[in-house]
Structure 1
Amino acid sequence: MVAIAQQIRSDTPVILMGETGCGKTSLIKCLAKVANVKLEAVDVHGGFTRTDIRQIVRDCTEQFNMQGLKEMWIFLDEINTSPDLGWFKELICNHTIDGINIPKAVKIIGACNPYRRRRFDGHVKESVSKDPLSQYVYRVFPLPETMKEYVWQFGRLSNLDEKQYILEMTKKTIARLYPKKSQKWSSSIPSIVRKISISQNFLRKNLQDKAIVSLRDVARCLSTYSWLRRRSSKTYAVSNWSGKCLTIALGLCYYFKLNKKEREDYNKVISSNWGTPFDRQLQEEIDTLCNCFEIPSGVARNQALKENLF
């Protein structure tokens, strides 16, 4: 963080490269908060054009001047998903837009995803061969040579760091759920952290891609868990409902991504110290929900339909 801050202060272009969801955006937000600097975070995408770039720079510059700010940061995330990389190169490396200088105190920071080829099965490779971007893990365009000189390899989180992130995210989720009783429910935190960590590592290992899961999956799982916990249940005791909420969240965010053999292996790993096997608990919830639907005659109530309804 200190090294990145020094580069920003010295007007050296900063471009962070790392896997999606590895904490690039969170780091810049934390850094801006510590530095007491106004931050404008922008999510770039494939439809992001030079017109959008001009508008963002114009709006931020006006905001900078009107509010009399001493310094402002513009963080452009996933810049290499846009085909207009030449404009980002001018903005980040030259600190100009259309040849016009941007105020020196308005700092431009970029972030991008790695340009890495995917691993394919034979039949899958044939089906995507007509799309040149499909052969890469991320649908990204190669960076201009000038930008490559300023790339900061952010990499990916180690398993230990990721587990620490999961722990802190879980603590925050429990604190939001029970602001006055968070201490009472703190005993459930280690179990939640362990099961999410196991799920992350299992998918990363079995789907053979370190980018297949990230902290965004953790956030999605905890968000689902939190949403379910806020829904009262008259059928189950509070402690039982908590376990069912976690089962549903893990099922939606991890289990359904796996094929039959992978699900069997995942069930063995995740069911230890859980009592009832994970897949049986999840199936009970799937059946309970599907029984609430009126299925038209002639439609088979098979597992594929149940999972899609769920």
Structure 2
Amino acid sequence: MALILLRARANIPVIVCGEAGCGKTSLIAYLALIVEVQFMALNLHAGIDERIIMRFTNDASKKAEKGEIWLFFDEINTCNHIGLLADLISRRMLNGKPIHPNIRLFSACNPYRIRTRTQSKTGLTNKVKIHEEQSRLVYQVKPLPDQILDYVWDYGILKPEDEYRYIQIMIEKELKTLAHPVFAELLYTSQKFIRKVEEPYSVSLRDVIRALTLVKFFYNSLENRPAYEEEHKYPPPGNPTITTRSYVLALSLCYHSRLYDQNLRKQYRREMDQILQNHNSYIGDDVFVKIMREEQEDYINRMQCPPDVANNEALLENVLATIVCILTRIPLFLIGAPSSSKSLAIRLINLNLRGSDSNDEYFRTLPQIYLIPYQCTSSSTSDGIMKIFDKANKYQKTASKQFPIASVVLLDNVDLAEASSFNPLKVLHSLLEPSYPATGPTVSVIGISNRRLDNSKSSRALIVRRYFHNLFICFCKIFLLTIFFLGHKL
């Protein structure tokens, strides 16, 4: 912080470079608040044109007449006009004209780096060859021009002991009476586990914030949720307690569901079980998976499903994650190969969550789901995506306490848009994480994808990844089962 302030005082531009979710934007905004200067931020993406940059800078120049102002350009290396921005940063010139001396320039960017591991073993392989270089990048960004490299400040990553302390503070602040030392250890171990099996930049404090939000949601839901049958008692009294259940369910959605390999899921559950047993939070084996299954079945049993729908593991997981993310407005990406029950889960939820017209007593207390679908293609643009969000926001404003509504943007085949030369998905950064004074998305966002998106988008959403089934093995199993049943009938 001190080094950045010294640069600002000397009127030297600062470009903060770091991984997604490490706190680059929050740091600059917080410093501006501390030193009590005006602060303006512009979220850049491929849809931003020269006119928007000019208008933003001209507005800042007018405000600079009253005193010092900090201009912040977020995601600077995603914009198609990076040459214009480089000239602004290095020479303080915009289209040949000098900017106001009271303006201080700040930027943030993700590193231009080739990934060292396979992006995902789930879903389909990316067969788009036009943008082959971008598909190998950790972030879909452009290299920074040489003229501004001297202003780059490496943000780095949190040290393990600092992250653990941050997690403890966040738990105490957000959960209050629900806080327990075991959850800090569970979260820290979960973060470390994901980094080990994926990449060091795969998780951040954003995941911790989502987990805390889910703990509060599940605790309130389990405390007040009516039973779907008179003789059915859920959650059952005794161990595990509702607090422990809330911890487990939050971890299952934030960390367990993003693991594509069954063996990795088992390994993760064993580590969580061991920590819970060390803290005497419950007694028993495989309680983690039992808690998950009971919650999934409680939701699916409240639904009216077509007779030919099988309650398989993929469907149960997708249904629970989707409902919870819609109600908490946590962005969600459902990732998996075709026939992994992604679209089916959306249809069942849309069919059953109808507000006061729902058949189930608990569902009648929830808002009515209003889906606004958008079919992503390689021709998608930022303007097209923004129009869908504008439509969802307008419909959300019609909600009232008497008739609550949950407006949901459904981005189908969102991975196809990532292959677009327009790079339209960069607009999602500001839509999934609105700038101050907004505290979060105004509508729910669900993305359906056959493969994982780049980390700058994945880090802003909860991820559910279904492991890939070998089609030949599946066909053999179906063939053998068919022969067995036919033979049994004969």
Superposition TM-score tier, normalisation by shorter sequence: 0.7 to 0.9
Equivalences for residues 1-310 of structure 1 within 5 A: 1-65=1-65, 68=66, 70-121=67-118, 127=127, 129-131=129-131, 132-174=133-175, 182=176, 185=177, 188-207=179-198, 209-231=199-221, 233-234=223-224, 240-258=241-259, 259-274=261-276, 275=282, 276=284, 277-310=287-320
TM-score (norm. length: structure 1):
0.87
Give the AA of the match of 1:9. R
Cα-Cα RMSD:
2.4
Q: Could you tell me how far 1:42 is from its partner in structure 2?
A: 2.9
Q: Could you tell me how far 1:97 is from its partner in structure 2?
A: 2.0
- Check the 8 A contact 1:80/1:141 in 2, yes or no: yes
| Cα distance change on mapping 1:192 and 1:14 into 2, 3 Å | same
The alignment covers a number of residue pairs equal to 296
CA distance in 1, matches of 2:185, 2:241: 18
- String of CA shifts for 1:81-116, please: whole Å, max 9, x gaps: 222211221222222222222211121101111111
Q: Name the % identity.
A: 33
| Cα distance change on mapping 1:245 and 1:43 into 2, 3 Å | farther
Give the AA of the match of 2:164. K
CA distance in 2, matches of 1:62, 1:139: 34
Give the AA of the match of 2:189. I
| Cα distance change on mapping 1:38 and 1:169 into 2, 3 Å | farther
Give the AA of the match of 2:114. R
- Check the 8 A contact 1:128/1:135 in 2, yes or no: no
- String of CA shifts for 1:23-59, please: whole Å, max 9, x gaps: 2122212222221112223332332332221222223
- Check the 8 A contact 1:228/1:245 in 2, yes or no: yes
CA distance in 1, matches of 2:219, 2:22: 27
| Cα distance change on mapping 1:223 and 1:126 into 2, 3 Å | closer
* SS across alignment from 1:33: helix
CA distance in 2, matches of 1:62, 1:291: 60
Give the AA of the match of 1:284. E
Q: Which residue of 1 aligns with 2:454?
A: none
| Cα distance change on mapping 1:82 and 1:233 into 2, 3 Å | same
Task: Identify which range, 118-127 or 48-57, moves more after superposition.
Answer: 118-127
Q: Could you tell me how far 1:146 is from its partner in structure 2?
A: 0.7
CA distance in 2, matches of 1:233, 1:164: 30
Q: Which residue of 1 aligns with 2:341?
A: none
TM-score (norm. length: structure 2):
0.56
- Check the 8 A contact 2:182/2:275 in 1, yes or no: no
Give the AA of the match of 1:2. A
Task: Identify which range, 229-238 or 132-141, moves more after superposition.
Answer: 229-238
Give the AA of the match of 2:171. T
- Unaligned 5+ residue runs, structure 2? 225-233, 277-281, 321-490
| Cα distance change on mapping 1:154 and 1:121 into 2, 3 Å | closer
CA distance in 2, matches of 1:35, 1:121: 44
- Unaligned 5+ residue runs, structure 1? 175-181
* SS across alignment from 2:309: coil
- Check the 8 A contact 2:185/2:275 in 1, yes or no: no
CA distance in 2, matches of 1:150, 1:189: 43
- String of CA shifts for 1:250-277, please: whole Å, max 9, x gaps: 1221111102111001001111242253
* SS across alignment from 1:222: helix
- Check the 8 A contact 1:49/1:84 in 2, yes or no: yes
Give the AA of the match of 2:288. F
Q: Could you tell me how far 1:144 is from its partner in structure 2?
A: 0.4
- Check the 8 A contact 1:41/1:77 in 2, yes or no: yes
Which has the larger share of helix? 1
CA distance in 2, matches of 1:16, 1:84: 19
CA distance in 2, matches of 1:72, 1:154: 22
| Cα distance change on mapping 1:223 and 1:300 into 2, 3 Å | same
CA distance in 2, matches of 1:198, 1:215: 13
Q: Which residue of 1 aligns with 2:406?
A: none
CA distance in 2, matches of 1:79, 1:102: 18
- Check the 8 A contact 1:167/1:189 in 2, yes or no: no
